[in-house]
Copies of this chain bind each other. A is one copy, B any other.
């Protein structure tokens, strides 16, 4: 059965281990940091400049979860919205390496680290994606690994 939404997109069979996806850029403003932190991560070092200066982060910095969400959005724009993606399964090995400060610009790459067919569902494959997110000075800010489901073009041709 062909999915009318995804039929013209790249499917599992069209992906290759080692492919590198270049992400766009996102500038992280003070307003973005405070708005996100108020809803999800209301610590003084994400909300208040004076408190942030006295903290481990040394200044107002984004919630690490916000850095992850913004990185995910860059991957949707550059890759996931262009393939026959059916959703994420989970993350592992998420590490925050340096804080994202007010007006930093984040960008980076995502590399296809692994591809395997689902044993139980031959219509799906699982793509493993390694994020390397950096700031404008090329300092690493976050790494993580995502497992994402992708439709196979040919469900019968399981590897």
| Distance between Cα atoms of A56 and B51 in the complex (Å) | 44
| Distance between Cα atoms of A92 and B73 in the complex (Å) | 20
Within 8 A of B (CB), among A95-150: 95-96, 144, 149
Docked-complex contact B92 and A96, CB < 8 angstroms: no
Copies assembled = 2
Question: Given that A39-B73, A76-B43, A89-B95 are contacting pairs, would A65 and B68 also be in contact in the complex, using a CB cutoff of 8 Å?
Answer: yes
Interface size class of A (residues with CB under 8 A): 35 or more
- A70 contacts the other chain (CB 8 A): yes
Residues of B within 8 A of A57 (CB): 87
Residues of B within 8 A of A80 (CB): 43
Docked-complex contact B86 and A90, CB < 8 angstroms: no
Residues of B within 8 A of A76 (CB): 41-43
CB distance from A40 to the nearest CB of B (A): 4
- A72 contacts the other chain (CB 8 A): yes
| Distance between Cα atoms of A69 and B41 in the complex (Å) | 8
CB-based nearest B residue for A64:
B88
Residues of B within 8 A of A64 (CB): 87-88, 90
CB-based nearest B residue for A55:
B86
Residues of B within 8 A of A12 (CB): none
Which 5 A-B pairs have CB atoms at the shortest separation, nearest pair first? A90-B95, A91-B94, A40-B69, A40-B73, A56-B86
**Apart from the given pairs A39-B73, A64-B87, A65-B69, 16 other A-B contacts in the complex at a CB distance below 8 Å:** A40-B70, A42-B73, A43-B76, A43-B85, A43-B87, A45-B87, A55-B87, A56-B87, A57-B87, A69-B69, A88-B96, A90-B94, A90-B96, A92-B93, A92-B94, A94-B94
